């Protein structure tokens, strides 16, 4: 219903805990925002991996008795939002296989850009795929490897794929965590007593009382077993391309992602936005929840009051029944309702984190005006989204991205806003502590750090531009 980009997945793993599967369940609970279509956990008692997967939210996917049967001190888990592969149970993860190397459970966050080609080649060689997800390619490559040790077979399979992956893998007696050499998607490493924890975001560690130690580095493979934690760096170094949109929108503000507080980054984006695009106004109002941190930064910098002029209903399911007699702004009103006492007669600065198609933003602006606001000045805490993502984020085709096909003034008119400004790319990168070259910003620039098949580019009517090592820039 909401016109937003969607994160693809969240991953979690724990080794050395007597209630590993219950810890995984809680970890996935904290990562629910990264995927709501399906959830799964695989656990091992030291000899056999057993997996449970189901459609729906974590709270509904597992029964108490199922978790009790997932015995052992090792567990990995996954929450999924599909982009590559349909939304059905067969594509839910962990994907559990049994091959010449023994059992392996795979949890993947990201998207392999060459999955289709690899799949065609493997199918041509006789492989039988069980799912339509890109992640299964890694398992087929792993199963074919002649490397004698499990971690060598994993490295050998990963060396053949390209794109974005943060992986948590399990065999009956170990966990292996791996991040692609560009480091597109996050992966954090922590401890809970003697247990070792890996998770897409640190908020999953907070919930179970684990402490975050560091991130799994881009290109690093971490093996966790009874002998301890071993780090391998088997891949040639590559330019970093950490997804900056994790900080703009996806990640929870209480998480540390790529080593930096998401809340701090978002607040800094809001401050920069106020510096770049000030406006005469009475009140700053965020689009909840993701616009809140940037709105705090904007309000502080602009010395304007921050008010919750939109209230979000957190209990709305994915679908709802619309009455035949149409209700004004119905789709948005189900989830957001304006607070008339805050908005009436006010000049409002409305802060949101992004505009994708513009359809929801337009409804929100009109809803705020209908509630009595005198002016609505829209401020977006990132640059215009002009290009699709190929690295694990669900984006519409380029032709559907309003900023790819319309000028700023055309978008403003469409939204019915009194003014519209986006944060500049400079401002966005300045909000991060790390060096600007460490981030992927492709959806704002159309410049891609990892090439993808030209067939995809043509389909999206997208000029294929590469940055970094491929072009020598």
Name the site residues for ligand SF4 (rule: CB under 6 A): 184, 243-245, 389, 391, 393, 440-443
The minimum distance between CB 111 and ligand SF4, in angstroms, equals 9
What tokens does 407 get?
């000028």
Nearer to ligand SF4, 10 or 72 (CB): 10
The minimum distance between CB 90 and ligand SF4, in angstroms, equals 26
Nearer to ligand SF4, 171 or 395 (CB): 395
Look at the block and give the residue holding tokens 């309000």: 299
The minimum distance between CB 248 and ligand SF4, in angstroms, equals 8
243 catalytic? Reply is no
SS3 33: helix
DSSP designation for 222: E
The minimum distance between CB 114 and ligand SF4, in angstroms, equals 16
The minimum distance between CB 420 and ligand SF4, in angstroms, equals 21
In the beta sheet, which residues pair with residue 203?
none
Nearer to ligand SF4, 75 or 460 (CB): 460
47-68 residues labelled b (16+ CB within 10 A) or e (exposed): eebbbbbbeebbeebbeeeebe
Look at the block and give the residue holding tokens 């189901």: 54
CB proximity list for 454: less than 8 A, separation 6 or greater: 464
Count of CA atoms in the C-beta half-sphere (13 A) of 401:
22
CB proximity list for 150: less than 8 A, separation 6 or greater: 101, 102, 104, 171, 174, 176
What tokens does 381 get?
């805490």
In the beta sheet, which residues pair with residue 67?
none
What is the rounded distance in angstroms from the CA atom of residue 344 to the CA atom of residue 121?
A: 62
Residues 137/115, Cβ–Cβ less than 8 Å: yes
Report the Cα 47 to chain-centroid distance in Å.
33
Q: Indicate which residue of 9, 203, 243, 421 is catalytic.
A: 9
Residues 107/179, Cβ–Cβ less than 8 Å: no
Cβ-based neighbour number of residue 467 at 10 Å: 19
Task: Enumerate the H helices of 235-394 as residue ranges.
Answer: 245, 262-276, 292-302, 330-333, 340-343, 359-370
Residues 14/24, Cβ–Cβ less than 8 Å: yes
The minimum distance between CB 37 and ligand SF4, in angstroms, equals 19
Nearer to ligand SF4, 208 or 244 (CB): 244
Task: Enumerate the H helices of 337-407 as residue ranges.
Answer: 340-343, 359-370, 402-405
Nearer to ligand SF4, 350 or 389 (CB): 389
The minimum distance between CB 376 and ligand SF4, in angstroms, equals 27
Nearer to ligand SF4, 140 or 182 (CB): 182
What tokens does 287 get?
């689009």
Nearer to ligand SF4, 346 or 354 (CB): 354
The minimum distance between CB 328 and ligand SF4, in angstroms, equals 33
Residues carrying an active site annotation: 9
């Amino acid at each position: 219903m909401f016109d937003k980009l969607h994160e693809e997945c969240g991953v979690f793993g724990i080794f050395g805990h007597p209630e590993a599967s219950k810890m995984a369940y809680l970890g996935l609970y904290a990562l629910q925002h990264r995927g709501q279509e399906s959830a799964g956990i695989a656990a091992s008692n030291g000899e056999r991996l057993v997996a449970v997967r189901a459609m729906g939210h974590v709270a509904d996917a597992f029964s108490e008795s199922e978790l009790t049967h997932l015995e052992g001190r090792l567990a990995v888990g996954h929450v999924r939002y599909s982009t590559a592969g349909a939304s059905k149970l067969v594509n839910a993860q962990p994907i559990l296989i049994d091959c010449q190397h023994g059992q392996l459970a795979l949890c993947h966050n990201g998207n392999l850009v060459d999955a289709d080609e690899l799949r065609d080649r493997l199918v041509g060689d006789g492989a039988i795929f069980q799912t339509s997800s890109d992640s299964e390619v890694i398992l087929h490559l792993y199963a074919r490897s002649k490397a004698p040790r499990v971690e060598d077979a994993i490295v050998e399979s990963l060396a053949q794929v390209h794109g974005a992956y943060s992986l948590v893998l399990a065999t009956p007696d170990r966990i292996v965590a791996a991040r692609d050499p560009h480091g597109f998607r996050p992966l954090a490493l922590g401890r809970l007593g003697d247990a070792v924890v890996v998770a897409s975001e640190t908020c999953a560690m907070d919930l179970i009382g684990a402490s975050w130690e560091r991130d799994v580095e881009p290109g690093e493979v971490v093996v966790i077993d009874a002998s301890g934690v071993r780090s391998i760096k088997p891949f040639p170094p590559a330019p970093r391309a950490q997804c900056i949109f994790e900080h703009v929108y996806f990640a929870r503000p209480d998480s540390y992602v790529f080593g930096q507080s998401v809340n701090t980054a978002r607040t800094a984006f809001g401050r920069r936005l106020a510096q770049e695009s000030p406006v005469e106004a009475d009140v700053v109002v965020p689009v909840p929840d993701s616009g809140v941190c940037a709105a705090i930064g904007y309000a502080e910098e602009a010395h304007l009051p921050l008010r919750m002029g939109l209230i979000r209903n957190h209990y709305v399911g994915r679908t709802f029944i619309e009455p035949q007699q149409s209700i004004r702004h119905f789709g948005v009103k189900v989830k957001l309702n304006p607070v008339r006492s805050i908005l009436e007669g006010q000049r409002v600065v409305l802060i949101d984190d992004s505009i994708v198609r513009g359809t929801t933003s337009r409804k929100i602006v009109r809803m705020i005006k209908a509630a009595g606001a005198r002016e609505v000045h829209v401020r977006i805490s990132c640059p215009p989204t002009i290009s699709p993502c190929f690295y694990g984020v669900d984006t519409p085709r380029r032709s559907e991205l309003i900023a790819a096909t319309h000028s700023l003034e055309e978008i403003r008119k469409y939204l019915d806003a009194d003014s519209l400004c986006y944060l500049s790319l400079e401002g966005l990168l300045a909000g991060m502590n790390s060096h600007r070259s460490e981030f992927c910003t492709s959806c704002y620039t159309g410049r891609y750090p990892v090439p993808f098949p030209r067939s995809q580019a043509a389909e999206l009517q997208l000029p294929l531009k590469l940055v970094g090592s491929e072009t020598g820039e």
